């Protein structure tokens, strides 16, 4: 068996320990004589799996009791519609547009009400986070929306926007469980799990209970109503059982690693190795304003598209996979999520130094 260093932005690298455990349990989950993929989602065995997963993420993120944790299908993108449908009481919401995912959410919200762009960093190709300390926030705004870590552009909100008392909704897909957050500062925190937590096919929604209501926008599909899902403890219909099971294993792994404080230290150490190199290199340059750099997604360029392509091809041949930047921005991007070991980043930097020496 040989494993590569996988820098994919998502679906992305998972802890080897988790994959090995899942492999061992594939044919016979703990004496059940079947795989978790094959069992009823109404069985006692699966009920234990989903309950334990919920408890573990609650412990890890220190989720207050007045928040529900929902395990839902449809990925993060489905939430771009579910959020306005459930939360737009006044049919007015504010969006901070810091990249493609925020923009997609903003455009989707326009289908359901008035979506206002409160701030944007489009003027400099989303290479920074706009100042959100004193936004012009209308009184009747239902919520303020952010994409906390911008997967494609590699920026991250280091301080949350001042919402002036309005509810904050955050897409944390690509920084999920990468560091501690204070859940009580958000009304809704949600993320697709395939970036940092598990296999594709699920979004985890952490939502304050008073926002789970019956009076959603007319026409909201039953499945998209948070109340439907909350009342059924995420078992309204068949949930993504196997994904929930793997996420549960990742939560256990995170606990064993020391929780989110330890994960943050680990992620800071990893990111520093790469950013320090980008700052000293004459060939490779980071594309993001230093104070807004993401710990998870690190875009960089040489400034020469042919050289970029050569780098990506040679890196792949040397066992560093998925370093090509997003198709819309070009260059390179190294996604260094929780499960990327420190050696992966060290070896990548060695490879980059070597490439630079040979090509300049």
Ligand X SMILES: *Cc1c(COP(=O)(O)O)cnc(C)c1O
C-alpha distance across the termini of the chain, in Å: 36
Assess whether 195 carries a catalytic annotation. yes
Window 278 to 297, contacts with ligand X (CB under 6 A)? none
User: Looking at 38-46, 75-83, 240-248, 274-282, which segment touches ligand X (CB under 6 A)?
Assistant: 75-83
Q: Please list, residue by residue across 128-154, b when 16 or more beta carbons sit within 10 angstroms of its beta carbon and e when fewer do.
A: bbbebeebebeeebbbbbbbbbbbbbb
User: Looking at 114-122, 128-136, 171-179, 261-269, which segment touches ligand X (CB under 6 A)?
Assistant: 171-179
Query: From the list 151, 155, 229, 335, which residue makes contact with ligand X (rule: CB under 6 A)?
Result: 151
Assess whether 316 carries a catalytic annotation. no
CB 321 within 8 A of CB 344: no
75 binds ligand X (CB under 6 A): yes
- Beta strand 143-147 with 167-171 is parallel
Q: 93, 85, 97: which is closest to 205 by C-alpha?
A: 85
Query: From the list 155, 173, 234, 302, which residue makes contact with ligand X (rule: CB under 6 A)?
Result: 173
CB 7 within 8 A of CB 174: no
Shortest Cβ distance from residue 145 to ligand X (Å)?
Answer: 12
Q: Which of 195, 249, 252, 270 is catalytic?
A: 195
- With tokens 């209308």, the residue in question is 138
User: Looking at 74-82, 107-115, 272-280, 287-295, which segment touches ligand X (CB under 6 A)?
Assistant: 74-82
Residue 39 or 93 with smaller CB distance to ligand X: 93
Assess whether 171 carries a catalytic annotation. yes
Query: From the list 6, 98, 163, 174, which residue makes contact with ligand X (rule: CB under 6 A)?
Result: 174
CA distance 32 to 26: 11
70 binds ligand X (CB under 6 A): no
Residue 57 or 175 with smaller CB distance to ligand X: 175
319 binds ligand X (CB under 6 A): no
Shortest Cβ distance from residue 258 to ligand X (Å)?
Answer: 25
The DSSP code for 150 is: E
x/- letters, 8..47, toward ligand X (CB under 6 A): --x-------------------------------------
Q: Which residues contact 284 (CB under 8 A, 6 or more apart)?
A: 277, 278, 300, 301, 302, 352, 356
User: Looking at 64-72, 170-178, 233-241, 331-339, which segment touches ligand X (CB under 6 A)?
Assistant: 170-178
Determine the length of the chain: 360
CA distance 153 to 149: 9
Q: Which residues contact 51 (CB under 8 A, 6 or more apart)?
A: none
Query: From the list 76, 260, 296, 336, which residue makes contact with ligand X (rule: CB under 6 A)?
Result: 76
Q: 320, 306, 325: which is closest to 354 by C-alpha?
A: 320
Tell me if residue 166 falls in helix, strand or coil: coil
Shortest Cβ distance from residue 284 to ligand X (Å)?
Answer: 23
- Radius of gyration, alpha carbons of the chain: 21
325 binds ligand X (CB under 6 A): no
Shortest Cβ distance from residue 92 to ligand X (Å)?
Answer: 22
73 binds ligand X (CB under 6 A): no
Please give the positions annotated as active site.
Answer: 101, 171, 195
Residues in contact with ligand X by CB under 6 A are 10, 75-77, 101, 147, 151, 171, 173-174, 192, 195
């Amino acid at each position: 068996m040989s494993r590569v260093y996988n820098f994919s932005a998502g679906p992305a690298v998972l802890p080897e320990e988790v994959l090995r455990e899942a492999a061992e349990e594939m044919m016979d989950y703990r004496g059940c004589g079947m795989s978790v993929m094959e069992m009823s989602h109404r069985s006692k065995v699966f009920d234990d799996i989903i309950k334990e997963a919920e408890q573990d993420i609650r412990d890890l993120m220190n989720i207050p009791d007045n928040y529900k944790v929902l395990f839902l299908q449809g990925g993060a993108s489905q939430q771009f519609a579910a959020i306005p449908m459930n939360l737009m009481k006044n049919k007015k919401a504010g969006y901070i547009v810091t990249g493609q995912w925020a923009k997609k959410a903003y455009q989707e919200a326009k289908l359901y009400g008035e979506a206002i762009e409160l701030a944007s960093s489009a003027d400099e190709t989303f290479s920074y986070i706009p100042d959100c300390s004193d936004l012009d926030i209308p009184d009747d705004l239902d919520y303020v929306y952010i994409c906390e870590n911008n997967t494609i552009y590699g920026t991250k909100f280091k301080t949350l926007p001042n919402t002036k008392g309005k509810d904050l909704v955050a897409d944390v897909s690509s920084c999920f469980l990468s560091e501690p957050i204070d859940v009580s500062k958000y009304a809704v925190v949600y993320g697709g799990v395939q970036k940092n937590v598990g296999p594709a096919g699920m979004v985890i929604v952490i939502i304050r209970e008073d926002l789970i209501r019956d009076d959603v926008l007319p026409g909201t599909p039953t499945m998209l109503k948070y109340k439907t899902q909350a009342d059924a403890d995420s078992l309204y219909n068949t949930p993504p059982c196997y994904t929930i099971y793997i996420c549960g294993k990742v939560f256990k792994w995170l606990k064993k690693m020391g929780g989110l404080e330890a994960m943050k230290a680990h992620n800071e150490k990893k990111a520093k190795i790469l950013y320090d190199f980008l700052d000293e290199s004459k060939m490779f340059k980071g594309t993001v304003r230093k104070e807004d750099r993401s710990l998870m997604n690190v875009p960089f360029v040489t400034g020469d598209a042919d050289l970029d392509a050569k780098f990506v091809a040679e890196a792949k041949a040397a066992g560093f996979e998925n370093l090509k930047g997003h198709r819309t921005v070009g260059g390179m991007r190294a996604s260094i999520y929780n499960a990327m070991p420190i050696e992966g980043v060290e070896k990548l930097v060695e490879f980059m130094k070597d490439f630079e020496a040979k090509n300049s």
